Amino acid sequence: MRQAATSDLQEAALDYVRRSWPVFPLHSIAANGRCTCNGPDCSSPGKLARTKDGCKDATIDPETIRRWWTQCPDANIGVATGTPSGLVVLDIDGEGGIGWH
């Protein structure tokens, strides 16, 4: 019996889980450049959670990860930062982020 192929994104999500980083699925960017959330005014393509409670749904359970990425193999990966993962992120958008090195 042949197993279903897994997406590279699922493998990456499972790799994050092996590092004890809780993850959750995000919408992706469609071929037309729009977010797969299909929101007409979406200002964050590929960054919106696919789960009801977003980062609060983040998990390190491999079975949940496999189920999410089997349902949506093109899902971007969200990582719960701060206390859940021990990761701190500095994200500077816009002109400030472009000019900051």
Q: Is residue 17 part of a domain?
A: yes
Given this model, what pLDDT does residue 35 score?
94
Whole-model pTM over 0.95: no
Q: Cα separation of 2 and 77, whole Å?
A: 26
Residues 12-59: tens digit of each pLDDT: 999 999 999 999 999 999 999 899 999 988 988 999 999 999 999 999
Q: Which amino acid is at 23?
A: V
Given this model, what pLDDT does residue 2 score?
35
Q: Is residue 51 part of a domain?
A: yes
Q: Is residue 85 part of a domain?
A: yes
Given this model, what pLDDT does residue 93 score?
72
Question: How many structural domains are present in the chain?
Answer: 1
Given this model, what pLDDT does residue 3 score?
40
What is the domain range of residue 45?
8-99
Given this model, what pLDDT does residue 4 score?
46
Q: Is residue 72 part of a domain?
A: yes
